[in-house]
Amino acid sequence: MIRRTTNSGPSEGGQLALPFAPKSSLSAPPIEPFTVRTTEAMRITGLRRSKLYELIASGDIEVVKIGRCSLVVVASLRALIEQARSRTL
């Protein structure tokens, strides 16, 4: 539904307005996940599957098991990358 913002008709220069705000002003910032699946962890870090599982086995990357699903904790991925960055600086 579109409503007029003035009493004048469209031929008289009246503006049309939406009865609600545009989506861009209402949208919330994107939600960052707490965990990701191992395939997503490989994609975002650039690590190969074998290296990722090696880091999981050594305890460098934290994993949460829910049922049969293994979820990698994103905070542990960030910490791993930060540790690697600080060693190279």
Q: pLDDT digit string (tens) for 19-76? A: 666 666 667 888 999 999 999 999 999 999 999 999 999 999 999 999 999 999 999 9
Give me the pLDDT at residue 20, please: 64
In terms of Cα–Cα distance, which of 61, 78, 79 is closest to 70?
A: 61
Residue 65: which domain range? 28-88
In terms of Cα–Cα distance, which of 47, 27, 29 is closest to 38?
A: 47
Which one is predicted more confidently, 13 or 64? 64
38 falls within a domain: yes
10 falls within a domain: no
Total structural domains within the chain? 1
Whole-structure pTM value:
0.65
**Burial bucket for residue 55 (CB in 10 Å: 0-12, 13-18, 19+):** buried
Give me the pLDDT at residue 25, please: 61
8 falls within a domain: no
9 falls within a domain: no
33 falls within a domain: yes
Give me the pLDDT at residue 21, please: 60
In terms of Cα–Cα distance, which of 60, 78, 73, 77 is closest to 34?
A: 73
78 falls within a domain: yes
14 falls within a domain: no
Lookup: tokens for 51: 């290296």
7 falls within a domain: no
Which one is predicted more confidently, 75 or 89? 75
Lookup: tokens for 60: 């460098």
